[in-house]
Amino acid sequence: MNATSLEQYRNKIRRRMNAFRAGWLFYVLLVAARNLANERFAEHPAFSGLMGFMVGGLLVGIIGMGKLHKALKDDTALRRLYNKEHDERMQAIRAKAGVPVTLLMGAGLQAAGLVATFFDMTVALTLIAAGLAVLLVTLALKAWYSRRM
């Protein structure tokens, strides 16, 4: 890995960190909206569900951002992260487990479940459960192929 590709990867890491920061800003705006909104809006199940998903996502983001911040400070850690991300074996495992498609499908089902809370809670809970099931099956397939390949 040469210096230019390392610098390009460093810029890519910075863009990811900015995306995490944008997520934090969105969450802060939602908290402010809840404090400024009337009680009927703030106590709606859809809003509470959205806040719960945001908290979970932000906790995962904090952990990920800590790893990225650590890698930006140390060139050897940055190289290790680059090699891990571009590992051909892991790319094959992710492709075999269908990770890109199933992540989008799981996130789409979760989003549809949040939208459905405005209409029918049974449908919303079913969509959220289906989205979680898709994500868990993907995780299980990834673990399976990691041991077999």
Give pLDDT tens digits for 87-143: 888 888 888 888 888 889 988 998 898 888 888 889 988 999 999 999 999 989 888
Looking at residue 121, its pLDDT comes to 86
Q: Domain check: are 34 and 102 in the same one?
A: no
Where do runs of H (alpha helix) occur along 74-98? Answer: 75-85, 88-97
Q: In this structure, which long-range contacts are made by residues 22-27, counting pairs with CB atoms below 8 Å and at least 24 apart in sequence? A: 23/54, 23/57, 23/58, 23/61, 24/58, 24/61, 26/54, 27/54, 27/55, 27/58
Are 55 and 66 members of one domain? yes
pLDDT band at 58 (very low <50, low <70, confident <90, very high): confident
Clarify whether residues 75 and 143 are in a common domain.
no
The confidence score (pLDDT) of residue 123 equals 92
Q: Tell me: the pLDDT tens digits for 7-56?
A: 888 899 899 889 888 888 887 887 777 777 777 766 777 777 777 777 88
Class of residue 18 by CB neighbours under 10 A (exposed 0-12, middle 13-18, buried 19+): exposed
Phi-psi region of 74 (alpha: psi -120 to 50; beta: other; left: phi over 0): beta
Its domain, for residue 52, covers 1-86
Mean pLDDT value of segment 60-86:
86
Residue located via tokens 């992260």: 81
Domain boundary among 33, 54, 86: 86
The pLDDT value recorded for residue 149 is 76
Statement to judge: residues 92 and 76 lie in one domain: no
Q: What does the pLDDT read at residue 42?
A: 67
pLDDT of residue 132: 92
Give me the number of domains the chain comprises.
2
C-alpha span between 88 and 85 (Å, rounded): 9
For the beta carbon of residue 6, count every other beta carbon within 10 angstroms. Answer: 14
Q: What is the Cα–Cα distance from 81 to 55, expressed in whole angstroms?
A: 26
Q: Which residue has the higher pLDDT, 1 or 19?
A: 19
Confidence band of 1 (pLDDT split at 50, 70, 90): low
